[in-house]
Chains A and B, each alone.
Chain A
Amino acid sequence: MSDSTPTSTTGSSLVKRGLADMLKGGVIMDVINVEQARIAEDAGATAVMALERVPADIRAQGGVARMSDPDMIDEIIKAVNIPVMAKARIGHFVEAQILETLGVDYIDESEVLSPADYVNHIDKWKFTVPFVCGATNLGEALRRITEGAAMIRSKGEAGTGDVSEATKHIRTITKEIAALRHLREDELYVAAKELQAPIETVREVAATGKLPVVLFTAGGVATPADAALMMQLGADGVFVGSGIFKSGDPAARAAAIVKATTFFDDARVVAEASRGLGEAMVGINVADIPAPHRLAERGW
């Protein structure tokens, strides 16, 4: 900002984590073009995730999945007022540099794309733009936060429409946090070793009973009931990928999932939101996917 004073600071943890706080209680929707982005915004999405292929298509078509074309991301940024997120491959810090230059509001270092580095994740502290990363358990979440992630989403199994992995991951994370609460101070050292996470972060989670950043859930959410389930299990909000634009009536389903996320604890609203939505995405049972093809196992 040319007009800032010397006391003005950008890219601080407070500012990065703060945007995730503003997204809470909301639905972040995968979109592949301007038309879908507008439908998502109109339906009440708190943000959109711009990507070239939704996970269901990445899964069906195979091949290497990479960062989207900058032109497509630019068009979506111009088309909507809500925050725009985009995905970079795990460890691909140059894709992240490009996305930052484009002015996306959040970068998802995502297992849905093909990893670029099977050893290192991106050093996210080097960026002004905040990052969200996937996690299947508490240790993985804390390692990503240590690398600078300002938001965590449980991974689930993207592109399936099967919510069971999302359930497993959010339950695992919340259960592991609860377990830390009951440990004695001198037991936290071993807990940190087992979680493969720094003792300072483990102490903070044990003291507060929550992650130091916002926790969304993702991967397999396809119905209003799925979204409300995630919220009742303790998620701060939900990502919906293929579930909306692979369904029969995306606009209606998107709006219904937004309603169910806000009124997640009111079964009458969720029931009402579930009516007349047409066909949900067909989906694929996670149990039918051979382990090497499961996206959640990318990242560590």
Chain B
Amino acid sequence: MTHEGSPLTIGVLALQGDFREHLHVVSSLGEKAVTVRRAAELDEIDGLIIPGGESSVMDKLSRTFELAEPLKAAIASGLPVYGTCAGLIMLADRILDGMAGQQTLGGLDVSVRRNAFGSQRDSFEEDLDVPVLDGESVHAVFIRAPVVDEVGPLATPLGTLADGRVVAVEQGNLLGTSFHPEMTHDYRFHEYFVEKVRARRA
């Protein structure tokens, strides 16, 4: 990747989940990748990725370690954030079928249904058309994945399954996918996110 200017610093929330895979993608795109587990670390980053994992665990740990409120404030102030799978749940304003008392950071005007496809034996791979990304379709990996049940007026769907269910969405500086581009070699969603981060820094 070539790009103008100095590398961006992109944090990956490292409370639990596949954060190492995201760190690897960010580094391979030529940007600086750092883990985020503490509120103070938010001051050092230009953008944040919330990885796949268990959303109820991330919710619990982010509140226990006093990261949830600073994260909400950062999102409100325009920090670009990309959430995959559990990360999408964390960014959703509304959660369906969550654990009792489960909270999200919010930001995306959507309702997200947790484990929308069933148990692990229903996890799947499928090709998606994503018009905002140039070129061929995206090979998407869904693992006990959530789905966007309802897209509010402030959010925009970016990709749908063949049956029309929304699995990729954006709203301003926020981006969310039900699936895991970090598990494939197609990093166009990360590049799309990095462009948002670069645009904001400029």
Q: Which residues of A contact B (CB under 8 A)?
A: 1, 3-5, 7-12, 14-16, 18-19, 21-26, 41-42, 44-47, 77, 80-83, 100, 103-106, 128-130, 258-259, 262-263
Name the residue on B nearest A269 (C-beta).
B65
A45 to B166, CA, bound (A): 29
List which B113-163 residues lie within 8 A (CB) of chain A. Answer: 114-115, 117-127, 141-144, 161-163
B183 x A18 contact (CB < 8 A)? yes
Is the beta-carbon distance between B125 and A128 smaller than 8 angstroms?
Answer: no
Known: A15-B143, A41-B99. A81 touches B115 (CB 8 A): yes
Q: How far is the CA of A47 from the CA of B143 in the complex (A)?
A: 14
Assembled-state Cα–Cα distance A10/B122 (Å)? 6
**Which of B15, B52, B163 interacts with A21 by CB under 8 Å?**
B52
A/B interface sample: 8 pairs, CB < 8 A = A15-B142, A19-B143, A25-B16, A26-B54, A44-B56, A44-B60, A104-B119, A105-B121
Give 18 A-B pairs besides A4-B162, A46-B16 with Cβ atoms closer than 8 angstroms.
A8-B162, A10-B122, A10-B124, A15-B123, A15-B143, A18-B143, A21-B183, A22-B143, A22-B144, A25-B15, A25-B19, A44-B61, A45-B57, A81-B56, A82-B99, A103-B118, A104-B120, A129-B120
**A81 and B85: CB pair below 8 A?**
no
Q: How far is the CA of A8 from the CA of B140 in the complex (A)?
A: 10
Contact A3 B37 (CB under 8 A): no
Name B120's contact: one of A21, A46, A80, A83 (CB within 8 Å): A83
Minimal beta-carbon separation of A9 from chain B (angstroms): 5
Are A9 and B57 in contact, with the CB atoms below 8 A?
no
| A16 vs B123: C-alpha distance when bound (angstroms) | 8
Q: B114–A14 contact, CB under 8 A?
A: no
**Chain A residues in 8 Å Cβ range of B120:** 16, 19, 83, 104-106, 129-130
Q: Which residues of A contact B115 (CB under 8 A)?
A: 81
B62 to chain A, nearest CB (A): 10
- What total of chain B residues lie within 8 Å of the partner, measured CB to CB? 45
Contact B126 A7 (CB under 8 A): yes
B86 contacts partner chain A, Cβ-Cβ < 8 Å: yes
The answer to whether A129 and B162 have CB atoms under 8 Å apart is no
Contact yes or no, B163 A18, CB < 8 A = no
Inter-chain CA distance A21–B17, complex, in Å, is: 7
A81 to B113: give the CA distance in the assembly, Å.
12
- Closest CB in chain B relative to A172 CB, distance in Å: 23
List residues of chain A with CB within 8 A of the CB of B85: 22
For the A-B complex, the count of residue pairs with Cβ-Cβ distances under 8 Å equals 134
Q: Which residues of A contact B86 (CB under 8 A)?
A: 22
CA of A14 to CA of B185, assembled, Å: 12
Given contacts A19-B144, A130-B120, A263-B37, contact A46 B20 (CB under 8 A): no
Q: Which residues in B have their C-beta under 8 angstroms from that of A47?
A: 54
Q: Which residues of A contact B124 (CB under 8 A)?
A: 1, 4, 8-10, 15
C-alpha gap A46/B58 in the complex (Å)? 10
Q: How far is the CA of A129 from the CA of B67 in the complex (A)?
A: 35
Closest to B53 in A: A22
Tell me the bound Cα distance from A215 to B143 in angstroms.
19
State the CA gap A189–B80 with chains docked (Å). Answer: 49
* Cβ contact within 8 Å between B60 and A24: no
Q: With A22-B52, A46-B53 in contact, is A105–B119 under 8 Å at CB? A: yes
Residue of A nearest to B183 (CB): A18
B97 contacts partner chain A, Cβ-Cβ < 8 Å: yes
Q: Quick check: B56 and A105 within 8 Å, CB to CB?
A: no
Q: B17, B114, B119, B161: which contacts A22 (Cβ < 8 A)?
A: B17
Across-interface contacts of B56 in A (CB, < 8 A): 41, 44, 81-82
Pairwise interchain contact A46-B57, C-beta atoms closer than 8 A: yes
Q: How far is the CB of A15 from chain B (nearest CB, A)?
A: 5
B170 contacts A by Cβ under 8 Å: no
Q: Is there an interface contact between B97 and A81, defined as CB atoms closer than 8 Å?
A: yes
Are B19 and A9 in contact (CB-based, < 8 A)? no
Residues of B close to A22: CB separation below 8 A: 17-18, 52-54, 85-86, 143-144
A224 to B37, CA, bound (A): 18
| Cα(A292)–Cα(B117), bound, Å | 44
B97 to chain A: closest residue by CB: A81
Residues of A within 8 A of B18 (CB): 21-22, 24
